[in-house]
Structure 1
Amino acid sequence: MEYPQRYLSDLVLDRSVAASLERLAHEVRNWPALDAAGLPRRNRLLLSGPPGCGKTSAVSGIAHELGRPLVTARVEGLISSYLGETAANLSNLFDFASTGSYVLFLDEFDSLGKMRGDTSDHGELRRVVNAVLQQIDTYSGPSLIVAATNHSQILDSALWRRFDSVIELGLPDSRQVSALLGRLLPNNGASLARHYVEELVGLPHAATEYFAVSAKRHALLEGRKRIGDTDINFALTETISRRWL
């Protein structure tokens, strides 16, 4: 459990994604009005997209906007090799989510929600999907349930229908990369790096953050107070030589 300190407005996201997240946060604040009007809440959100594109940051932003604790469920702690124990762990988790107003985050959700027709898995994991479906279907507590996946293509089709809202976070475009560099690089670093924006387009947000940290680290270790072209070129080479997706 943690209390994030980052607002949604602190994130660099696609405008439509940011608007969808802000709208959902506004809706959660007004759940009592929806209840009074007999309108169903949207309390189950699925975030989908490539690794490093801000899904975890988005969940943190939502929790902070709502003033709620963020509870992250570790998938490896839920899945058990013993028959029926995983379903019991899931039941305990959702019971906990009913005890207070949290943002419950199920990261790497595809580990729990693989397609039931996947012949590579034994029967226990197929039962896990059924247990997840049951818990999501019946949950009506005060918490917002958020799941995230890097591999939406392997999610069981029945799970998609259980979520009230599905938001796709994609790779940053040149505008988002430039905005990130402006926030992450001090002094003249951002203006130098803007010449290399197109080199970073097609990589996730995490790659741009890595690039900025690499440039600052290189300048510091070389004894420079300001980032120069040498630092930028070193950071770019280091960044694009890595595998990100």
Structure 2
Amino acid sequence: MMPARRAAAPRQYRLAGVRMPDPVDVPTDSEKGFPLLRLTRETCTLGDLVVEEETGELLSLLVDENRQFGRLVSYGLVPKQKVLLCGPPGTGKTMTARALSCTLGRPLAHVSFDAVMSSFLGQTSTNLRKIFDFLENGEYVALFDEFDIVGKKRDDELEHGEIKRVVNNFMQMVDAYSGRSLLVATTNHEHMLDTALWRRFDEIVMYGLPDARARGLLFAKYLGALRKSGEMGIAGLVASTEGYSAADIAQVCENALRRAVLRGASQSPRVSPDDVSWALCAQQRRREVVEGIGDGRGP
């Protein structure tokens, strides 16, 4: 007779400077013993985000509501705790969750869907139940990144019965949730979500590609990490990056700064217009490759 399989020991995390027990046992998958989420201490705040004014005000109000949870409850009100962030890749959805975590002084609980989704019938729903139980027993900002994996339309003919059961169970868990953690779900494919999921969220925030003003702020922010040699010509950079995401612009700036540091002979490297121009060309080539793959044309 085969010996009984021992349950995996809880995964423990030690994080300094955040409000949670030390160490913390995170839930694990019974099948393989993988942790179902990871805990991190974030350093970016809402002030680091470059978003539309309306979005910034909405996020600030969300923070205030969760900071003054008890006061709202004393008046028979409940703060918004279930938030859905929608929009194209690279527009700041994940960074928003990180900023909320830091601003609230809570650890970020990043749900690992590759571990949550199980090949065993019923195990995925069990994993989700473990995650919600964990979140209800603490104060976290929980990030369900690209959660359309478990939020797909139940009438999708390509999905099998297990996925449909998972969607139903997920909605029931969101409805029944009563903890203090802030739940943040993100998706690049809002059109794939089951329509019944939308009303489960207290707030829905749409993210788009940055406009000219936002692109200018992004370049000024990221290129400010080094001193400059020569005029950067921010207006020209803004004009040449229409259609770029915030992540695209961050990558351009990081590549330019990296090149400046590597070629600089002094202890105080300077980023030049040539560095930025080189990084822009490299990013454009990268975008063409990605778009070609998406169109089926290959690299």
TM-score, normalised to structure 1's length?
A: 0.94
RMSD: 1.7
Deviation at 1:82, TM superposition (A): 1.1
Q: Secondary structure at the match of 1:115?
A: coil
**Aligned counterpart, 2:157:** 119
CA–CA distance in 2 between the matches of 1:77 and 1:27? 32
Aligned residue in 1 for 2:44: 6
| Equivalent position of 2:211 in the other structure | 173
Q: 1:105 to 1:157 in 2, by over 3 A?
A: same
Once structures 1 and 2 are overlaid, which stretch shifts more, 12-21 or 180-189? 180-189
Check the 8 A contact 1:45/1:163 in 2, yes or no: yes
> Matched residue of 1:116: which SS?
coil
> Residue 204 of structure 2: SS of its match in structure 1?
strand
Structure 2 gap segments, 5+ residues each? 1-38, 292-299
Is residue 2:281 matched to residue 1:237?
Answer: yes
Contact 2:264 2:270 in 1 (8 A): no
Residue 114 of structure 2 corresponds to residue 76 of structure 1: yes
Contact 2:231 2:273 in 1 (8 A): no
Equivalent in the alignment of 1:197? 238
Distance change (3 Å), C-alpha of 1:89 and 1:193? farther
Q: What residue in structure 2 maps to residue 227 of structure 1?
A: 271
Name stretches of at least 5 consecutive residues in structure 1 with no aligned partner. Answer: none
Is the contact between residue 230 and residue 273 of structure 2 (CA under 8 Å) also seen in structure 1?
no
Q: Displacement of 1:221 after TM fit?
A: 3.7
Q: Within 2, Cα distance between the matches of 1:52 and 1:140?
A: 31
> 1 or 2, which has the higher helix percentage?
1
C-alpha separation in 2, matches of 1:64 and 1:217: 27
Say if 1:12 and 1:176, in contact at 8 Å, map to a contact too: yes
Q: Secondary structure at the match of 2:109?
A: strand
- Contact 1:193/1:232 (<8 A) preserved: no
Letter in 1 for 2:227: N
| The 10-residue stretch of structure 1 (170-179 or 184-193) with the greater mean CA deviation from structure 2 | 184-193
Aligned counterpart in structure 1 of residue 248 of structure 2, from 191, 195, 207: 207
1:98 partner amino acid: E
Alpha-carbon distance between aligned partners in 2 of 1:149 and 1:131, rounded to the nearest angstrom: 19
Task: List per-residue Cα deviations over 1:16-69 (Å, max 9, x = no partner).
Answer: 111110011111112212211112332101111111111111111111111111
The count of residues paired between Structure 1 and Structure 2 equals 245
Sort the Cα spacing of 1:125 and 1:201 in 2 relative to 1 into closer, same or farther, 3 A. same
Distance in 2 of aligned mates of 1:19 and 1:198: 27
State how far apart, in whole Å, the 1-side matches of 2:261 and 2:79 are. Answer: 50
Rounded to whole Å, the distance in 1 between the matches of 2:73 and 2:216 is 42
- The aligned counterpart of 2:123 is 85
Q: State the identity %.
A: 39
**1:181/1:193 contact within 8 Å kept:** no
Q: Secondary structure at the match of 1:128?
A: helix
Give every structure 1 segment of 4 or more consecutive aligned residues whose post-TM-superposition deviation is greater than 4 Å: none
Question: Offset at 1:190?
Answer: 9.2
2:185 matched to which residue of 1?
147
